[in-house]
């Protein structure tokens, strides 16, 4: 079945760049998503990329997509303490194109 | 618009009890989903619906039931609660497939 994998933890210093990586399996996914979850809250869409794109930039966020390797990454420039959260990569799959999520990467920003 | 609203936010159930987790949306979304999130895991799809009157099983449907009598409401029913159902439950809605899903704030359920 479909599977999305991410590393579980990442720590960076405030002001540095963060790079969160993800691999996915469903090559027919039309969109790939990055969601952010703050403690005790639901998931908030950060950004997404269409499968025919290699890169998408949105202010401090850069998404890179390598379709050949089924690899997706999220780069956060000038990481701030407010960026500390869990970041989920997700692909669309199945008959209802429902989201299949990775296990999430806990990003900790150190002062 | 309130978006996607889930109630209750927290609940403790005893083994064997039943309950319904409520989810309602005012965004006229056709697609609605129920996920569960276990610690250190991603979200797993329990059930989904592509429109009123239509529901289908996701990855982990055992022990749950859903109904979709209206576009707005998508309740999740637990008939005989088990400790393995201790989790955080998220409801989500999307206007169509392949579009952004909007999530509720979650229901934290503990079965003791």
Q: pLDDT tens, A37-50?
A: 998 888 889 999 98
Q: Cα–Cα distance between A62 and A18 in angstroms, integer?
A: 10
Contact B56 A95 (CB under 8 A): yes
**pLDDT in 10s for each residue of chain B, 112 residues:** 669 999 999 999 999 999 999 999 999 999 999 999 998 778 999 999 999 999 999 999 999 999 999 999 999 999 999 999 999 999 999 887 767 788 999 999 999 9
Q: Point out the residue among B33, B40, B102 whose CB comes nearest to the CB of A98.
A: B33
The minimum CA-CA distance between A105 and chain B, rounded to whole Å, is 9
pLDDT (0 to 100) of residue A2: 57
Contact A8 B40 (CB under 8 A): yes
What is the rounded average pLDDT of the residues A95-110? Answer: 88
The minimum CA-CA distance between A77 and chain B, rounded to whole Å, is 24
- pLDDT band of residue A99 (cuts 50, 70, 90) is confident
- B20 Cα distance to chain centroid: 10
pLDDT (0 to 100) of residue B42: 82
Q: Cα–Cα distance between A76 and A85 in angstroms, integer?
A: 12
The minimum CA-CA distance between A107 and chain B, rounded to whole Å, is 13
Residue to substitute from B27, B68, B95, B101, interface A, most A β-carbons within 10 A: B101
DSSP 3-state of A81 = helix
**CA neighbor of B44 nearest in space, from B58, B62, B55:** B58
What is the rounded average pLDDT of the residues A88-111? Answer: 87
Q: Point out the residue among A4, A8, A98 whose CB comes nearest to the CB of B58.
A: A98
pLDDT digits (tens, 9 = 90+) for A37-94: 998 888 889 999 988 899 999 999 999 999 999 999 999 999 999 999 999 999 887 6
pLDDT (0 to 100) of residue B1: 60
pLDDT (0 to 100) of residue B98: 67
Q: Point out the residue among A4, A98, A103 whose CB comes nearest to the CB of B45.
A: A98
Residue with the bigger pLDDT between A26 and B34: it is B34
Q: Are B41 and B90 in contact (CB under 8 A)?
A: no
Kindly tell me if the per-residue pLDDT of A109 is higher than 60. yes
Q: Cα–Cα distance between A11 and A109 in angstroms, integer?
A: 6
Residue with the bigger pLDDT between A30 and B3: it is B3
Q: Are B109 and B21 in contact (CB under 8 A)?
A: yes
Two structure tokens written together for A102 = 């990775």
The minimum CA-CA distance between B8 and chain A, rounded to whole Å, is 14
Contact A88 B42 (CB under 8 A): yes
pLDDT (0 to 100) of residue B95: 84
Distances in Å between the Cα of B19 and the Cα atoms of B4, B66, B81, B111 are 20, 12, 8, 11
Contact B50 A96 (CB under 8 A): yes
* Pairing assessment for the beta strands B64-66 and B54-57 based on DSSP bridges: unpaired
β-partners of residue B102 are B93
On the CB side of B81, CA atoms within 13 Å amount to 19
pLDDT (0 to 100) of residue B26: 93
Contact B42 A101 (CB under 8 A): yes
* Secondary structure letter of residue A95 according to DSSP: T
Closest residue, chain B, to A43 (C-alpha): B103
Q: Is A39 exposed, middle or buried (0-12, 13-18, 19+ CB in 10 A)?
A: exposed
């Amino acid at each position: 079945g479909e599977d999305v994998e991410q590393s579980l933890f990442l720590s960076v210093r405030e002001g540095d760049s963060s790079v969160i990586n993800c691999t996915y399996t469903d090559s027919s996914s039309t969109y790939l998503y990055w969601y952010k979850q703050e403690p005790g809250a639901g998931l908030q869409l950060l950004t997404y990329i269409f499968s025919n794109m290699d890169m998408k930039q949105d202010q401090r966020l850069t998404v890179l997509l390598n379709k050949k390797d089924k690899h997706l990454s999220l780069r956060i420039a000038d990481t701030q303490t407010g960026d500390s959260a869990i970041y989920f990569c997700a692909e669309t799959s199945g008959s209802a194109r429902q989201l299949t999520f990775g296990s999430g990467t806990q990003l900790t920003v150190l002062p | 618009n309130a978006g996607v609203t889930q109630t209750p936010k927290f609940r403790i159930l005893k083994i064997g009890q039943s309950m319904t987790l409520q989810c309602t949306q005012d965004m006229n979304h056709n697609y609605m989903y129920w996920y569960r999130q276990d610690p250190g895991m991603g979200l797993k799809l329990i059930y989904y619906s592509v429109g009123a009157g239509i529901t289908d099983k996701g990855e982990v449907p055992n022990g749950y039931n859903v109904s979709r009598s209206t576009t707005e409401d998508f309740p999740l029913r637990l008939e005989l609660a088990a400790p393995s159902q201790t989790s955080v439950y998220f409801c989500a809605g999307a206007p169509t497939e392949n579009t952004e899903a909007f999530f509720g704030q979650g229901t934290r359920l503990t079965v003791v």
